Amino acid sequence: MAPVIFEKKGKIAYVTINRPESMNALNRETQITLKETWEKIEADDEIWVSILTGAGGKAFSAGADLKEGEGVGRNYDYMRLKGFLTKGPSAREVSKPLIAAIDGYCLAGGLELALACDIRIASENSTFGTPEPKWSLINGYGSLVMPWTVHSSNMMELLLTGQFIDANEALRIGLVSRVVTKSKLMDTVNEIAEKILQNAPLALKVTKELARLRERQGLEQSLRTYYSYHAFLDRTEDYETGITAFRDKRKPEFKGR
């Protein structure tokens, strides 16, 4: 089963994370396939808008697949970092409008992926969170880009508590732009995409570039710093404790070392 489904309908590309049995967790294969998909979208002049969603109806994505193996957090983040610093776009760097259709859990790296999209629409049963600190990890990319989306106090509460919030709270703090019923999610996203398609594609690219300019000017260096912090945590006793506890489905006992 392909980890990512790509469909092209007219000028719209539909990208679906297809690991519903693991709540669309982002393992290495999925990350690589997503990056190849962004490259395909960027290279296709017939695609003007893209929509990203998750299969199964339970999760957009629960984040990195921590059950995949040792060092998965480091490797996952490194691939994401390399997506910014090497040839070929990450989701954040696709020059065409990208809409996230969020249904269900949108957590950790899954939330970071949603934050890479230009517009986020959520079903009313969606749940958001950055639980990484519970396992001695960091929501590094989210920490870097969320200030452009969410007020500082709301952002820090989300990042530092690791607690989940519902779709209405996500709407209140500006994490998403609309909350709709589950049955209307894709119709709403498609309506937005169709409105975007009425505009000139080159003007859309330039508008997106300008809107992201201030944020992107210092992003590459910030991402390098983020990876160095992650590399530090990856060598700590707490990191091993957190990952092991996650796999064993128990509460970790951290020692701060």
Q: What is the pLDDT of residue 3?
A: 96
The 10 Å Cβ neighbour count of residue 233 is: 17
Instruction: Please give the tally of structural domains in the chain.
Output: 1
pLDDT tens per residue across span 119-139: 999 999 999 999 988 878 877
Domain of 137, CATH number, reads 3.90.226.10
Closest CA to 206 of 50, 89, 80, 96: 96
Structural domain harbouring 107: 4-197
Tell whether the model's pLDDT for residue 94 goes beyond 70: yes
Q: What is the pLDDT of residue 136?
A: 83
Lowest mean pLDDT of 76-85, 126-135, 157-166, 211-220, name the range.
76-85
Q: Tell me the average pLDDT across 226-236.
A: 75
Catalytic residue among 132, 209, 220, 253: 132
> 8 in a domain, yes or no?
yes
> 71 in a domain, yes or no?
yes
What are the strands of the beta sheet with 4-9, ordered from one edge?
Answer: 4-9, 12-17, 49-54, 98-102, 119-123, 178-180
pLDDT band at 78; cut points 50, 70, 90: very low
Q: What is the pTM of this model?
A: 0.82
> 218 in a domain, yes or no?
no
- Residues of the chain with pLDDT > 70, as a percent, come to 86
Q: What is the pLDDT of residue 76?
A: 41
Q: Tell me the average pLDDT across 62-84.
A: 56
Q: Is 112 a catalytic residue?
A: yes
Q: What is the pLDDT of residue 254?
A: 76
Tell whether the model's pLDDT for residue 34 goes beyond 80: yes
> 233 in a domain, yes or no?
no
Residue 201: CA atoms inside 13 Å, Cβ hemisphere, count?
14
pLDDT band at 216; cut points 50, 70, 90: low
Provide the 8-state DSSP code for 64: B
- Residues of the chain with pLDDT > 90, as a percent, come to 56
Closest CA to 91 of 229, 212, 234, 218: 212
Catalytic residue among 68, 112, 124, 157: 112
C-alpha distances in Å from residue 205, one per residue of 90, 134, 178, 218: 15, 38, 23, 20
> 114 in a domain, yes or no?
yes
Q: Is 194 a catalytic residue?
A: no
User: Among 17-21, 73-77, 93-97, 202-206, which range has the highest average pLDDT?
Assistant: 17-21
> 164 in a domain, yes or no?
yes
